[in-house]
Homo-oligomer: A and B are copies of this chain.
Amino acid sequence: MNSPVTGPVIGVVGGGQLARMMAPAATALGVELRVLAEGPEVSAVPAVRTAPTGDYTELAALRRFAAEVDVLTFDHEHVPTEHLRALEVQGVAVRPGPDALQHAQDKLVMRRAVEKLGLPNPQWAEVRSPEELVAFGERVGWPVVLKTPRGGYDGKGVLTVDDPHAAQSGTAAQWFERSRSADTGQGLLAEEAVPFSRELSAMVARRPSGETVAWPVVESIQVDGVCDEVIAPAPGLDPEIGRAAREAAIRLAQDLGVTGVMAVELFETPGTEAGFAVNELAMRPHNSGHWSMDGAVTGQFEQHLRAVLDWPLGGTDPVAGAAVMKNVLGEENQDLFAAYPEAMAAEPRAKIHTYGKSVRPGRKIGHVNAVGSTHEVQRLRRIATHAAAIVRDGGDHPGSADLTARAVDAPWGAVPAAQSEAPLVGLVMGSDSDWATMRAAAEALEELGIPYEADVVSAHRMPAEMLEYGRTAHERGLRVVIAGAGGAAHLPGMLASVTPLPVIGVPVALKTLDGMDSLLSIVQMPAGVPVATVSINGARNAGLLAARVLGSAPDVAGRELRERLREFAAELAEAAHRKGSALRDTVSRGADSQD
C-alpha cells in the first residue's frame, strides 16, 4: 500500500458554508482542509475529513486547532483580534492577519483606512450620542444610516434614521445606550444615505508575497439588505469606473496587508467624481463571489486557498464571458432534495450549490449559478432565478416573467440605462437625416433581440468625438459597429481605422448619383483597413450581417443566434414561396381571364 501524498494542511475557523465550499477546491489541489466547527452539525462538517468542535472565542481551542495546521484562515470575521495576535506571537500563520482583519471587523477602522488612502468614502462620522447623530444629520441631510461598528452583516446592525426625532428615540437610542454601557471607548458609525444607482462588488485576492489579482466588478442585487442575485461582470458598467473600482480594491488589499480573498462592496454613484463609493469590506470569500465557482477560470474558494498558502494566484477571467448567481433563501419548502429533480429538469444549465443547512425563513441555504456569454445575461438570470425558485418553493414554479419584462423594456435610442442588457452593436450615422434609411438596421436588431445603441457621429462635423467613439467602442463592450453615411462617406472607414471591431458600412443614397458616390467612398478602402460594405441603402442587411457576426461566436449565445438566423432564413423562404404562389395565382387568373 502506498501512502497518500497530501499537501499542506489549512485550518478554517468556523464551519459555515464558506468553509464548506473550500472543501472541493482543497480536494482538487490535494491539500488538506480542517474545520474548527461550532458544533457537529454545521454546514462544513459533512464536507471535510477532520472537523473538531471548538469555540472560536476561546484562545485555548484556537491554539489546539492551530497546532495541527500549516496555516489558519476563516469562515467569518468574528474571531477576537487579541486571540489572533496571541496565535501570531506563537508563530501561527494567521491569514488574513489581525492587522488586516480588524478593517473587516470594525467599520470605523475601515472608514478611517479608506479615508487615509483617499478612496471614495461616503460622508461619515463616529457618533457617541443622539446629539452627535442629530448634528451629523443636520450637516449631511436626512435620512442618515447608523451602524454598529462590529458584528453586523446582511442588514443586521444597520439602521436608517429618518429625522432628529428618530435619532433620539427607539432603536437608535437603545444602540447608544448599549454602546455606552459596553464601555468600548467606541461610538457608533453614522453615514450619509448615499444616493446610488445600484450596488457593485470588487473582489480581489492577495497572497503574502504581494501578488494581487482582481475579478471583474460585479453587480450585486440586494433585497431587504440581503444579497439576492449577482451578475458578473456588472452589465453596462462604465469601464473607467470598473477599472477604478478594481484598483481601489487592489490598493486596499495591498495597503491593509490582506491575505486571501477580500470583497469590497461598493455603491455606484453616477454624477459623483469617482462614480462609486466604498460600502463595506469582507476579508474572506463572499456571497458576491459565488458566481466564480462555475463562472471564472479560478473560483474564489480555490483562490482563497492558493492565497493563504502563498501559492501563485489563478486567472480571474469569466470562463464563458458572464455568469449569474442567485441565492436560495429559505421559505416554506423544508425538503430541498425533493425539489431538486424538478429544478434540474427545468434548467439543465443550472449549477445548484447546497449548504447542508436546515431551512429557516430568509436563511441562505444554497445558491444557483448559470454560466454563459455576455450576450445572454438575461437568459442566465432566468435560468438561475427559476431553478432557485423551484428549490426554495418545492417545485411547481411558473418561472420569472418579471425578468423577461425587464429585458424587453430596455430603452434604446442612446446607451441603454445601467442594469439593462449592455449594447453589443453600435449603430451610428453621419447625420440624423440618415435615420430614415438606418432605422431598418435597428429594426432588424430588435427583431432578433440584439441590444444596440444608436447615435449621430459625424466624421466631418465632430471628428474628435468620432475617433473617440471608434477607439472606445470595444472597451465599452460593443462587438460590431454599423456606420451609415452618404456622399463623401468617410464615417465607416474612419471608424474602421481606429477600432479592432468589424465595421459594417451602409452607403446612404443622397439626391444625386444614386448612392454610387457613397458606395465607392465606403467600399474602396485601402489594404489594412477593411469595411464590410452592404448595398446602397441596405441598412436592413447591415443589421442582419451584425447578427451573423455575433452568431459566429463559439459560445451558446452564438449558437442560439445562428438558430434564430436560420429560422429567419426559413421565414424568408416561406415569404418568397407565398409571393411566388400569389404571383402564380395572379398570372393564372390573368390567363383565365384571357381565355
Contact = CB atoms under 8 A, between A and B. Distances in A.
Interface string A44-82: 011111000000000000000000000000000000000
Contact of A315 (B348, B354, B374, B480): B348
A8 B337 contact: yes
A428 to B, nearest CB: 16
How many identical subunits does the complex contain? 2
A479 interface: yes
A464 interface: no
A30 interface: yes
A569 interface: yes
Contacts of A348: 297-298, 312-315
Interface centre among A42, A497, A554, A565 (most CB of B within 10 A): A554
Nearest to A478: B552
Given A49-B48, A535-B523, A541-B530, A552 B554 contact: no
A394 to B, nearest CB: 13
Given A349-B297, A355-B30, A552-B502, A531 B530 contact: no
Interface stretch (A110-118, A357-365, A402-410): A357-365
A423 interface: no
Contacts of A355: 30
Interface stretch (A170-178, A216-224, A542-550): A542-550
Nearest to A572: B528
B556 A317 contact: yes
A311 B297 contact: no
Contacts of A353: 28
Interface string A3-38: 111111000000000001101110111111000001
A478 to B, nearest CB: 9
Contact of A45 (B4, B47, B479): B4
Interface stretch (A101-109, A262-270, A338-346): A338-346
Given A371-B297, A569-B500, A1 B41 contact: yes
A42 B1 CA distance: 8
A586 interface: no
Contact of A336 (B5, B315, B549, B551): B5
Given A358-B3, A502-B552, A535-B525, A23 B27 contact: yes
A107 to B, nearest CB: 28
A384 to B, nearest CB: 13
A4 B312 contact: no
A340 B314 CA distance: 12
Interface in A190-206: none
A321 interface: yes
Given A49-B46, A530-B542, A555-B321, A28 B314 contact: no
B554 A3 contact: no
Nearest to A563: B500
Contacts of A337: 5, 7-8, 30-31
Nearest to A48: B49
Contacts of A4: 41-43, 45-46, 356-358
Query: Most chain-B CB neighbours within 10 Å: which of A313, A322, A360, A528?
Result: A528
A427 to B, nearest CB: 15
Contacts of A141: none
28 contacts: A2-B41, A2-B360, A4-B45, A5-B357, A7-B340, A8-B337, A23-B27, A28-B351, A28-B353, A29-B354, A30-B356, A30-B366, A31-B337, A48-B49, A313-B348, A314-B344, A314-B349, A373-B555, A440-B527, A500-B551, A502-B549, A523-B533, A524-B538, A525-B534, A525-B538, A530-B538, A532-B533, A550-B552
Given A315-B348, A523-B534, A528-B544, 14 more contacts: A4-B43, A5-B357, A5-B359, A23-B24, A24-B27, A27-B46, A29-B352, A47-B49, A297-B351, A502-B548, A530-B534, A531-B545, A552-B553, A553-B555
